[in-house]
Structure 1
Amino acid sequence: MFISLTSDLPDFKSASFRPGLNIMVAERTRAARRQDSRNAVGKTSFIRVLDFLLGADARPDHILRRPELAEAFYELQLELEGRVVRIQRTGVDPGTLQVDGITVKNAAWRQRLSKELFALTGKSGEPSYRSLIAFYLRDVQNGAFDNATEVHRKQTATASQSSLAYLFGLDLSLLEQAKEVATAEKSLKELRKAAKDPVLGMTLGKAQDLDAQIRTLGIQVGNLERELAEFKVVEQYSQHRARADELSRYIRKLNDSLVMGERRLGDVEAAINQEDESQPDHSYVQEMYDQLQITLPGGVIRRFDEVAAFHRSVVENRRRYLDGERVSLLESLEEMRQRLERADSERANVMRILDAGGALETYNELQVELIHIRGRMSELQQRRETIDKWENANRHLQLRSAEMELRFSTDLSDRRSQIDEIAQLYSSYAYEIYGSGRPASLSVEASKTGYNFVPTIGGDRSQGVKSMALFCFDLTMAVTAHRYGRGPDFLVHDSHLYSDVEGRQMASALMLAEKVASREGLQYVVTLNSDDLKKAQDEGFQVEFNECAKLTDRYDTGGLFGIRFN
């Protein structure tokens, strides 16, 4: 139990504790200025000083390392195992403490507290001392009042399971096994994620796609192996290849010329046919004049005859030119066809030589290609084996997860009387506060990751009801752990827990805390504003309690440290 908290700061508000209910009161004074507030008088700092003397880390941003406070000594007298221990610590040298006048490292002090407060033995799988004490000195700045089963807003339910399981006396060995499975699942998930990251170059692909690629590469390997086995190296291979390429270009050129020549021949023959069909006919002129009963002069008729004779002469000359052009094109085309036939025949002979073998360079290139394909195939096979291993590991982990959930369920079934005792405590505490109007339960459920603690109080889900659910949970935890020698004999709550609680429920909670603490040999410490305390007293809170310290909103000296700072 706590006995006293003091400091060498001149105006520090010392605290004196007793068994049972202890309240630090933040009171409004008449002399306080209108702008003064009790929200900064040091209620939360009071809890942080206690935590500081119980081995908390004191990082550079810790309040007791501020220049205004760092030089001061803070002292806690604490009863441990039947004797009073005096602890002193300063923000200037937060790594060491004075315990009964002897300098010890903070780590050694924690180790001692872990044994004397929580009976920890240092076995594998046990929770740390700091993870346990955090449930007894919840820090509002860490979000410790947001969720009953967590003491840090970034903490997962899984992370707090070990601490709660220890305090409630459940099987830590099962949790350790579940943690191994969860770690393996997380590692496998991270590996899968990394395998999909192109930056890491570890893309594995899908099993069916890899199988298809491996089979295709296997066919290529077989073909290359046969080709190399039958390969013959041809002498002067490069010269033959050059000649074949030259002949191919020549043949393409001849084919282009043939196409152009045949088009030209077609144009000439079309022109000849057109000449035959387009002779002029002057008879329509004579017929037109006859219909008009006009007789053409003889000179006009003679002129038509002369024009027709001239036109026949022009047509005959053009016909002779076109016939000559046609003959010339036919001869040229025939010559090109003969040249094309000879070139094609020569190229066929060269290709037969090339088909019979290849160059040494080609042979080496085939070998390099074979090595490359084999390497690629080996890589894909390794990736395929990795996928098989991962799939097998995933199936194995799923099986182990299901097995762990069954083992947790079996363990809870075997501990039915113990679980019922815990649930009964919680329900009875909630009944003291709300009566029968709000049924309450604390269930412990099995999952693949461990024990899930679910405290509930029926009715609306207001913040006040949630706060009282947390109060009942902490009280159940503290009583259970103390009864079985796994927890200390004190529990501390910040005034933030009661900020949204109605006066009647606050009165009931404080009376319950006093009754349980007295009956169980515990010490319940809480910080409250004087108006909240008055509100509870007006609703029937009349039990005796120890006012362990009093803070005021007086600006200069009323706060915990007796000084003001920004």
Structure 2
Amino acid sequence: MLYELKGHLPGFKGARFGDGLNVVIAQRSETPGAAAEGSGRVMGKTDFVRVLDFLLGSDVRAGNPLRRADSAEAEFGLTLDLFGQPRTIVRGVQNLLTAQVNGASMRMPKFRAYLGKALFGLTGSGNEPTFRTVAAYYLRDVGVDGFASPTETYRKQRGLDTRLALAYLFALDVDLVAKVGEVRETDRSLRELRKAAKETVMGMTLGRGNDLDARIRTLQIQREALAGEIAEFRVVERYAQHRERVDELSRRIREINDHLVVVERKVKDIEQAISEDEGGFSDRAYLQQVFEQLNVVLPDLVTRRFEEVEAFHRSVVANRRRYLEAERVRLVRDTSQEREKLAALDRERAELMRLLAAGGAFETYSELQRELSVVDGRIAELVERRAIVDRWVNTSRHLQLHSAELELQVNADLHDRRDHLATISRRYASYAYQLYGDKRPAALTIEAKRSGYKFVPTIGGESDHEVRGMTLFCFDLCMAVTAKRAGHGPDFLVHDGHLFDHADAHRVAGALRLASEVCRQEGMQYVTTIDADRLDAVLRERPDLDYHLCMEMPDET
């Protein structure tokens, strides 16, 4: 039960709550800004709901009045029943991380856990929803589209959060919802990984199973060819040195061949010279004949001189011949040695050429080994990626089977709770009936889906803003009653008057009368904000409306 709301903020007068229907009236000013004259700023009816939410542990979001500069020192207090007795919560803007309960300071996590247990019976264990997730259904914020959908308290709310919160508030199996949520979250993560794997990450993409198989087979064939080449490969030690030696031997062989050509030429010249010397000396008798024909008689002295010259000449020729013979012998001997050396060099070169032709360099062998290692690495990578694809496929199948099993379990659970569900559905339908009669058949169905429980509140006929607003009103009222009866919710429900913006006075009057009657029957409080002129119109429709005026405030929203 709510008792009193106080606040130290310009334009905020505080509120005293009573039983049943509580109304906060927002007075519209005749002149814009006049209501705020002298007060610096005036809080509107939406701000009233946000202050209550702030005292129940909400964060101060953008657009909250407490974010304004003139609210920097604001402090609020709320007295309400906690654990069966009135206690006062105090929270200030200057220290958003703490709150006080009857003077005892608590850090925000502890404070929220405290309220969760006191108002919703949350123990903070198992698969229970968080306190703030369930509290948001009791204090919807229009600023975050809190009235856009009955099952969501803000746009694009996580499905698991809504299903857990509603399952708890409607006294269903939250453990079953959590299991379904885990499967769906795993499936969602798997889909995100698949999507990410289609893009290049660190130079690789995951690929499809068939493509990976084809690439693996191709690389395996390539590997077999490389392995066979390596198996037949003979590594020649000091391959580079052998190649250099072969080149050196080839140069030496060419040099020796060139030298032999020169030497053989010299030998031939010597042999020719020796051959010419063997032809003998010129006969000096022809000189005597010449002189005799000239009637000249040579004296004996001249004859002796000829003999001496001939002897000297013979000596010179003999010496020359001996020299040429010796030179020819030397050259022949050198030639023989060179030819032996040439033969030895040629044999060495031939052996090295045979060795090189039969094998290869160690560098070449190492390169083949490196290629094989690269291919092995690529095969290992593709095999691992193929295994990931297989695991994903198997995981997907497992998730599908598990999801189907859980859907059956949800169906079975709903079947076991059919009496409880029927009570909820009748309650919701009765609320809608009091608003629309038999013109718009209504139902709140809770269906079994692979996502868990699906809540489908409907009010039949053509849908418009008014009907959507009344659908949410009936849904929240049904939820609050169900949760209170199960010990899963507090005995109050707060609605911002923006919920009724699209409804006429007759429909708003019907909704407020319904809330008043339900609160009287269930021992609850329903708090709503409403413009003064709208309340006047409602009272013309329902003069007997039983309500408590808990606060009047000027309206800026």
Residue deviations 1:483-523 (CA, integer Å, cap 9, x gap): 11110000000010000012221111110000000100000
Q: Which segment drifts farther, 477-486 or 386-395? A: 386-395
Q: CA distance change for structure 1 residues 389 and 11 in 2, over 3 Å: closer, same or farther? A: closer
1:541/1:399 CA distance change after superposition, 3 Å: farther
What are the within-5 Å matches in structure 2 for residues 234-249 of structure 1? none
**1:441 aligned counterpart, secondary structure:** strand
Instruction: Give, in angstroms, the shift of residue 60 of structure 1.
Output: 7.7
The equivalent residue for 2:15 is 15
Name the SS of the counterpart of 1:52 in structure 2. helix
- The one-letter code matched in structure 1 to 2:208 is K
Following superposition, the deviation at residue 70 of structure 1 comes to 2.5
**1:353 to 1:94, Cα distance in 2 relative to 1, 3 A:** closer
Does residue 1:391 correspond to 2:409, yes or no?
no
Measured after TM superposition, the shift of residue 444 of structure 1 is 0.5
Does the aligned pair in 1 maintain the 2:410–2:448 contact within 8 Å? yes
Q: Deviations over 1:99-141 (max 9, x none)?
A: 2122222322222111111011121210011111110011111
Which of 204, 207, 210 in structure 1 is aligned with 2:209? Answer: 207
Deviation at 1:239, TM superposition (A): 8.7
- The answer (yes or no) to whether the contact 2:12–2:43 under 8 Å persists in 1 is no
Report the counterpart of residue 94 of structure 1 in structure 2. 96
1:400 to 402, 405, 409: 402
Cα pair 1:490 1:525 within 8 Å, conserved? yes
Q: Counterparts of 1:144-293 in structure 2 under 5 Å? A: 144-233=146-235
Partner of 2:553: 551
**Residues 534-543 or 149-158, more deviating:** 534-543
**Corresponding residue of 1:485:** 487
- For 1:6, the aligned partner's letter is K
Report the count of equivalent residues: 446
TM-score normalized by structure 2?
A: 0.75
- 1:33 maps onto 2:31 in alignment: yes
**One-letter amino acid of the structure 2 residue matched with residue 52 of structure 1:** F
2:31 partner amino acid: R
Counterpart position of 1:503: 505
CA RMSD of aligned residues (A): 2.7
Q: How does 1:47-58 map to 2 (within 5 A)?
A: 47-58=49-60
Contact 1:125 1:176 survives alignment (8 Å): yes
Q: Deviations over 1:181-216 (max 9, x none)?
A: 122112212221222221433412121122122112
SS of 2:518's equivalent in the other structure is: helix
Could you tell me whether the CA contact under 8 Å between 2:63 and 2:143 is conserved in 1?
no
Describe the shift of the 1:224–1:123 C-alpha distance in structure 2 as closer, same or farther (beyond 3 A).
same
Aligned-partner Cα distance in 1 for 2:246–2:507: 101
Moved more, 178-187 or 199-208: 199-208
2:54 counterpart letter in structure 1 = F
- CA distance in 1 between partners of 2:435 and 2:18 (Å): 24
Whichever residue aligns with residue 21 of structure 1, its letter is: L
Q: Per-residue deviation at 1:64? A: 2.1
1:108-147 aligned at under 5 Å gives the runs: 108-147=110-149
Q: Structure 1: which 5+ runs fail to align?
A: 243-350, 554-558, 561-566
Q: Name the SS for the 2:519 alignment partner.
A: helix
Contact 2:11 2:43 in 1 (8 A): no
State the shift of 1:174 in Å. 0.6
Structure 1 residues 106, 373: closer, same or farther in 2, change over 3 A? closer
Paired position in structure 2 for 1:415: 417
> Superposed, which structure 2 residues align to 1:520-535 within 5 Å?
520-535=522-537
Determine if contact 1:145/1:151 at 8 Å carries over to the other structure.
yes
Following superposition, the deviation at residue 179 of structure 1 comes to 1.7
- 2: CA distance, partners of 1:371 / 1:468: 71
The separation in 1 between residues aligned to 2:430 and 2:142, in whole angstroms, is 27
Check the 8 A contact 1:77/1:86 in 2, yes or no.
Answer: yes
CA deviations on 1:281-333 (whole Å, 9 max, x unpaired) are xxxxxxxxxxxxxxxxxxxxxxxxxxxxxxxxxxxxxxxxxxxxxxxxxxxxx
State the secondary structure of the residue aligned to 1:429. helix
The 1:41/1:378 distance shift into structure 2, 3 A limit, reads closer
Farther-moved stretch of structure 1 (51-60 vs 108-117): 51-60
Q: Alignment partner for residue 462 of structure 2, among 451, 454, 460?
A: 460
Moved more, 385-394 or 10-19: 10-19
Amino acid at match of 1:498: F
Bigger Cα displacement from structure 2, 368-377 vs 427-436: 368-377
3-state secondary structure, aligned to 1:115: helix
One-letter amino acid matched to 2:434? E
| Cα distance change, pair 96–66 in 1 and its aligned pair in 2 (3 A) | same
Alpha-carbon contact 1:194-1:200 (below 8 Å) kept: no
How far, CA to CA, are the matches of 2:530 and 2:235 in structure 1? 99
Structure 1: distance between partners of 2:235 and 2:4: 101
User: Which aligned pairs between 1:337-352 and structure 2 lie closer than 5 A?
Assistant: none
Once the 2 structures are TM-superposed, how far is the Cα of residue 152 of structure 1 from its aligned partner? 0.8
Instruction: Name the SS of the counterpart of 1:88 in structure 2.
Output: strand
- Alpha-carbon distance, 1:8 to partner: 3.5
Aligned partners of 1:65, 1:388: CA distance in 2, in Å?
A: 53
Contact 2:42 2:554 survives alignment (8 Å)? no
Deviation track 1:45-90 (CA, whole Å, cap 9, x = no partner) reads 1111111111222358642243312223211111223321112221
Shift of 1:238: 6.0
Matches within 5 A, 1:320-359: 357-359=359-361
2:47 corresponds to 1:45: yes
Secondary structure in 1 matching 2:129:
coil
Based on CA coordinates, which of the two structures has the bigger radius of gyration? 2
1:473 to 475, 483, 491: 475
Give the partner amino acid of 1:431.
Answer: Y
Q: What's the % identity of the aligned pairs? A: 48
Distance 2:128 2:110 in 1: 17
- 2:80 paired residue number: 78
Q: Aligned partners of 1:137 and 1:420: how far apart in 2?
A: 27
Judging changes above 3 Å, is the alpha-carbon distance between structure 1 residues 105 and 224 closer, same or farther for their aligned structure 2 residues? closer
Task: Give the whole-Å Cα distance in 2 for the aligned partners of 1:73 and 1:215.
Answer: 73
- Pick closer, same or farther for the CA change 1:228–1:21 going to 2, 3 Å: same
Q: What is the CA distance between 1:22 and its match in structure 2? A: 0.6
Match of 1:24 in 2: 24
SS class of match (2:70): coil
Give the secondary-structure state (helix, strand or coil) at the position aligned to 1:68.
helix
Check the 8 A contact 1:148/1:469 in 2, yes or no.
yes
The residue that corresponds to 1:427 in the other structure is 429
TM-superposed CA distance for 1:369, in Å, is: 1.6
- Tell me the secondary structure at the aligned position of residue 69 of structure 2: coil
The answer to whether the 8 Å contact 2:21/2:526 transfers is yes
Preserved contact between residue 504 and residue 536 of structure 1 (Cα < 8 Å): yes
